[in-house]
Amino acid sequence: MKILENINWQQVSSQQENELQRLFHGRGFCFPEYTFINIDWLSPVVLIILYKEVESDWLQELSEALLKKMTGNGFCVKSIQVQFRCRDFAPTEVLFGECITDLTATENELKYKINLGKNQNYGIFLDMKNGRSWLQGNSRGKRVLNLFSYTCAFSNAAIAGGAEQVINLDMSKSALAVGRDNHRINGHELDKVKYLGHDLFKSWGKIKRLGPYDIIIADPPSLQKGSVNIKRDYPKIMRRLPELLNPGGLALLCLNSPDLDFQFLSETLKHECPQAKIIKKITPPDEFKNINPDHGLKCLVIEL
């Protein structure tokens, strides 16, 4: 199939066979015919993610072509599944092989629990790989605050990098429970990690008492009903950075809204935390190429 011609198979096959990978990123709009589809490798599962309905015959043909191509490149594919993001509740169907719902996959030699078919997001955001790599390389001996921690992927990277302590905060206690499991399966020292199942905007006092911190990670959802409105709430986060960070402390500010650009981050930071200095821009992995970088994941490292 033509879509397979747009996958960089040399790059895919050069990575570890069980490494979490985005195989095809249609949502970057670099391939006008295929803006409705992403394809992920979650060893041993291929997950096709659809943002609009397609003909069942086309979908089955894609499944068969992927199976042939990937097994030919040495991948052990046990299941091919499709998630319909275009439908209510994002249901998942099996196109080939086993109905695998729970698995453990790796990124940068760290293990992460993956769950398919239950939630829209399966447990880790692959476009943030470079951000996690940066944190792992800069966290030795540091105290880290991980806001909107979800399943604590940043926390795992920080502890693997030698962090002294990580505080994870997220309103979802079930996501934090997965985060605990991720630390366990990686053999981390569990007493170095804390979990707060709180609403950030009602918990500033407790967070401050547990500080100060050397690194803060802020990766908020763009819009979470009843909790987060990124345009309204990001300024509140930036405003608090000076009272939470040690002098010379760092913050990784992330933004994944296609409607807000790098300028929103930099201008809001300039207004709310003028003493902060932007020292680095972290871009997503190459496979997440976007025709307009401002519409994809945006990450800035700042220093106070």
Per-residue pLDDT of 98-142, as tens digits, reads 999 999 999 999 999 999 998 899 999 999 999 999 999 999 999
Alpha-carbon gap, residue 72 to 75, rounded angstroms? 7
153 Cβ partners below 8 Å, 6+ apart?
112, 124, 125, 128, 132, 179, 182
186 Cβ neighbours under 8 A, 6+ residues apart: 110, 111, 156, 159, 160
pLDDT attached to residue 15: 62
Instruction: Give residue 17's pLDDT.
Output: 67
Q: Which pLDDT value is given to residue 72? A: 87
Q: Give tens-digit pLDDT for 15-49.
A: 666 789 999 999 999 999 999 999 999 999 999 99
- In single-letter form, the type of residue at position 124 comes to I
Torsion angles phi and psi, residue 25, rounded to 5? -120, 80
Give the model's pLDDT for residue 103.
Answer: 96
Given this model, what pLDDT does residue 223 score?
A: 58
Residue 177 CB neighbours (<10 A): 14
Q: What is the pLDDT along the chain (304 residues), one digit of tens a residue?
A: 889 999 888 777 656 667 899 999 999 999 999 999 999 999 999 999 999 999 999 999 999 999 999 998 888 999 999 999 999 999 999 999 999 999 999 999 999 999 999 889 999 999 999 999 999 999 999 999 999 999 999 999 999 999 999 999 999 999 999 999 999 999 999 999 999 999 999 999 999 999 999 999 999 987 556 667 899 999 999 999 999 999 999 999 999 999 999 999 999 999 999 999 999 999 999 999 999 999 999 999 999 9
How far CA 38 is from CA of 121, 145, 146, in Å, comes to 13, 31, 28
pLDDT of residue 11: 78
Cα–Cα distance measured from residue 206 to residue 110, given in angstroms and rounded to the nearest whole number = 30
Query: Would you state the pLDDT for residue 14?
Result: 58
With beta carbons less than 8 A apart as the criterion, state whether 219 and 284 touch.
no
Q: Is 267 exposed, middle or buried (0-12, 13-18, 19+ CB in 10 A)?
A: exposed
